[in-house]
A and B are shown apart, each in its own frame.
Chain A
Amino acid sequence: MSRLKLKIGYLYPDLLEVYSDRGNVTVLQKRSEWRGIECQVDRITIGDQRDLSDYDLLFSGGGEDREQLLVAEDLLRKRESLFQAVASGTVVFTICGSYQLLGHYFETIGGKKIEGVGLLDLYTIGGSKRLVGNSVCETELVGKVHTLVGYENHSGRTYLGDSTPALASVVAGQGNNGGDGKEGAAKGSVFGTYLHGPILSKNPFFADHLLQLALARRTDKPVLPLLDDTWEMAAHTHIVQQYSGVSRR
């Protein structure tokens, strides 16, 4: 039997790298390897023409305004390939700046409209005050409620359309826009969130959920043996206790 292999496409690692979101790729890679699953990570940036359907999971992080603009233009060129990938079951996991670009548009505080790829029904408006701080949310993954913890730092306010469910609901923190109590977006195999941390390092069940979905493209019954997540959950619980006063997994 050939060894199970996972292919991750890391989009714009040289441009969208501002809040150490790259750690998420480290976490996905290690959690695969610890289970004997070979994990190949390809870095894909501006101008690269690759068939994104080749990948089981596509990841990208957050960036500063200038970098985000450059990425927006290139992402539009990759739009068709991205949609085909999603149709083939590829997991798309985006944080902050790249999450915003999955929507219809991002209108900056200066009134400039940056066009997104429209993979998710959402739009983002720039705000003058940044939404910054630790965040505790609740999410339901495969019928089970988990807390998600992370750190948010964004000026954009994201609003979800009716057809796009939130990834989580805010217990403590600001979420998508500081108003409606929603955090991130999750539709099928496409995910977006404002949480840094990196989020997967402190929410190992979410990392495994993404791996499970990605591996579903490779094998009918992806089995991920349990790992020892004592330290990960201690880091997780520390934030939960500090910021929401409740302790729950």
Chain B
Amino acid sequence: MWKVRTAILAAKITKWGLSIMGRKGTTLPGAIALRICPNLLDFYGNQLSGRIAFVTGTNGKTTTSNLLTAFLRADGRDVISNSLGANLIQGIVAALIEGVSLQKKQSVVLEVDEATIGKVVGPLKPTVIVVTNFFRDQMDRYGEVDTVVNMVGQALQLAAGDTTVVLNADDPLVASIAPAGKNVRYFGIQSITMQMDDQGEVRDGKFCRKCGSSLQYRYYHYGQLGVYECPGCDFRRPIPDQAAEHVQLCDDRIEFQLDGERGVLNSPAFYNVYNALAAITAAKLLGVKPNVIRQEMQNLNTGLGRMEKIVVNGHQQVMLALVKNPTGCNQVLKVVSQFSKPLDLILILNDRYADGTDVSWIWDTHLERLSEQKKLRRIVTAGTRAYDMAVRCKYAGLEALTTVQEGDLEAVDRALEQLPEDHTLFIMSTYTSLYAVRDHLLRKGRESVEA
């Protein structure tokens, strides 16, 4: 026990030290604590037994975790989470050290990196594990999609018998790792009341992971997500326990029906329906009261930088979206291309470690689609790979609209200065600039309110 105490103390001192230097300290305190006490997670697993939920997968980890946290809080629970997205083992430990109090009864929602889940599933013994989806992402780190799918699949096998696994029925890669003999719940989309077009989308998992046959689809929702079955074996889309119906995009929000209840998302990005379904399924499993779920569903807030609307200088509309892989980016591009009001666009592309150091993926995005968006006035590219992005725009037929601006915040400032009345500014950014840009926008929002 002294090791646990020393580790926690050392982490807290580190965190305090970092805060004096003006840093957030989302991982270093955890790294130090683990050095002192390598099995610190066992301690937390016992403390928090029966109240931990994990969220993993390629896209939607943060949004799903935030939505689930909101459900639990609305239910009156004290919730700890790594809401800033520090989802490797050090970040998870840091979040626990910061949040866990021995005097209180707390629930924990953790988004967990796909390569980390195998290390934390044993000691923390989660009650619920949610797997959102698998897409090609950051292959500089993990090599192939298959590798990632297998890593998470093995972690699910390691989970204890009373863990419930919540899987995306519409993603064949996710459905393929349903662990035998464990409690499994599925969520999926049953019907859509809007036009979907996804020609040429990147599709991972076209082949049955059981027998290798080409999967047959009744329809696609996006990427490889849809209603599928294998002609070669018994693998097919499981019937979802939680199925969304009449999904409908309404300009700046999405509406859907779930078990006869109405759900409203504050973000027009289609993939967030899946994140909402995942969170609702997990919330029900964690015992959130039905009336709380009904109430919260009316106003689902997808959170920071996930197609988030921010008002700047009192009147300027800005939409901020994280983009980090082609599937997610194409979903955002779809919203941009169908946007009904005039707009300007900033594309920020970085290649730091957290962004993924390979920027090739931008060539798998459908920027070409924007050449048909008549309301798009201009595009500014920025970030460490601003010129790569500009080249991509040029080959997508957008050269005449595009300029390069080195320096992300400068690009945002210039764009806001030159933004015509009634125009919306869309900002799409990779991870490492997202929060800096968001903070910058919020500051401008606040200054204008104070002025």
Contact = CB atoms under 8 A, between A and B. Distances in A.
Interface string A200-211: 011000000000
B404 A153 contact: no
B363 A201 contact: yes
B391 interface: yes
B44 interface: no
Contact of A30 (B212, B361, B395): B395
Given A19-B360, A20-B360, A20-B361, A235 B391 contact: yes
Interface string B139-151: 1100111100000
A153 B212 contact: no
A202 B391 contact: yes
Interface string B144-169: 11100000000000000000000000
B207 interface: yes
B378 to A, nearest CB: 16
A113 interface: no
B357 A133 contact: yes
A71 to B, nearest CB: 13
A26 B114 CA distance: 33
A157 interface: no
Interface stretch (B97-105, B285-293, B382-390, B434-442): B382-390
B404 A20 contact: no
Contact of B387 (A18, A132, A151, A234): A234
A228 B387 CA distance: 14
A133 B141 CA distance: 10
Nearest to B212: A66
Interface in A1-44: 14, 17-23, 26-27, 30
Interface in A134-161: 134, 151, 153, 155
Interface string A42-72: 0000000000000000000000111000000
Nearest to A134: B357
Contacts of B139: 18-19, 153
Q: How large is the interface on B (under 10, 10 to 19, 20 to 34, 35 or more residues)?
A: 20 to 34
Contacts of A65: 144, 146
A18 B136 contact: yes
Nearest to A22: B363
Given A155-B143, A231-B404, A198 B363 contact: yes
A80 interface: no
Nearest to A19: B360
Contacts of B370: none
Given A64-B144, A235-B385, A201 B391 contact: yes
A238 interface: yes
A57 to B, nearest CB: 17
B410 interface: no
A201 B388 CA distance: 8
Given A26-B363, A65-B144, A19 B385 contact: no
B140 A64 contact: no
Nearest to B146: A64
A130 B391 contact: no
Most A CB contacts (10 A, CB to CB) among B384, B385, B391, B394 go to B391
A46 to B, nearest CB: 10
Nearest to A66: B207
Contacts of A21: 360
B232 to A, nearest CB: 14
Contacts of A155: 143
Contacts of B385: 235, 238
A201 B363 CA distance: 10
A206 to B, nearest CB: 14
B140 A20 contact: no
Nearest to B143: A130
Contact of B145 (A64, A231, A234): A64
A64 B387 CA distance: 29
Contact of B388 (A64, A132, A235): A235
A201 B392 contact: yes
Given A65-B146, A155-B143, A231 B357 contact: no
A66 B388 CA distance: 30
Contacts of A234: 387, 390, 404
A134 B352 CA distance: 12
B245 interface: no
B360 A23 contact: yes
A21 B362 CA distance: 11
Nearest to A18: B136
A66 B204 CA distance: 12
B364 interface: yes
A229 to B, nearest CB: 9
A70 to B, nearest CB: 9
B358 A231 contact: no
Nearest to B402: A231
A25 to B, nearest CB: 10
A62 B447 CA distance: 50
B399 to A, nearest CB: 9
Interface in A199-249: 201-202, 231-232, 234-235, 238
Given A66-B212, A155-B143, 11 more contacts: A23-B364, A23-B392, A23-B395, A64-B144, A64-B145, A151-B359, A151-B360, A196-B358, A231-B394, A235-B388, A238-B385
7 contacts: A14-B206, A23-B363, A64-B144, A153-B140, A153-B143, A198-B360, A238-B384
Pairs A-B, 5 closest by C-beta atoms = A23-B363, A235-B387, A20-B363, A234-B387, A20-B360
